[in-house]
Each structure stands twice: as C-alpha cells, then as structure tokens.
Amino acid sequence: MDRVALRGLKARGHHGVFPQERAEGQTFIVDLVLGLDTRPAAADDDLAKTVHYGIVAEEVVAVVQGEPVDLIETLAERIAQACLKHGGVQEVEVCVHKPDAPITVPFDDVTVTITRSRA
C-alpha cells in the first residue's frame, strides 16, 4: 500500500473537558497518513484516480473547527472516518496534537494517534 501524508494541518477548535477550553478554544495540529494504491493515478497521470489531498485537508480542518467533543480521541476518530469516505483510501493514520493542553507542568505536546481501515 502506498502512502500520502499531510503533516501539520492547523485549525482552531473548542474541544476539551474543561469549560475554559470550550469557551476560548485552542489550536490543534493534525498529521495524516493515507494508505491507498497510487499506481492507477501514476499510470494515467490522473488526479481522479488518487486522493485529492487538498480536499482532504479542507475536510479535516472543518472537523476540527466543527462540533466540540471532550476527548481528542473522539476528534481523531471523526477525522479518520472523514478520510475513509474517500473512495481510494483504504487506511488512515491520524495523529492529533494538542500543544496547549491544560497541563500544570512544562511539556512540548500531547498527541493521540489512531489507525483505521476499511473493514
């Protein structure tokens, strides 16, 4: 299986369990690795035979900006399901970063990474 990766998609969302997170929002960063067969697209040099990563990026940002959820695990699942709606995508790895998580000690990042595939 071939891979198409999008790294560092940034969007502001209002996800989290604390009222301040919901009210003020924060930046979330998403990395994606889409698994698909790119041979048909490469053979014909045809965008219609692969995944349009620009559209995927817009959809992922819309999920992050959309309906708030408590957990970034839930957010990652919603993103994965949106990616799997694209016909050629057989598998997706989603990593959601929450660099401004409300943690009381110094840290660089909090991430949740999931892998989902067509059943």
Instruction: Supply the residues annotated as catalytic.
Output: 98
- Sequential DSSP letters for the chain: -EEEEEEEEEEEE--SSSHHHHHH-EEEEEEEEEEE--HHHHHHT-GGGS--HHHHHHHHHHHHHSS--S-HHHHHHHHHHHHHTSTT--EEEEEEE-TT---SS--S--EEEEEEE--
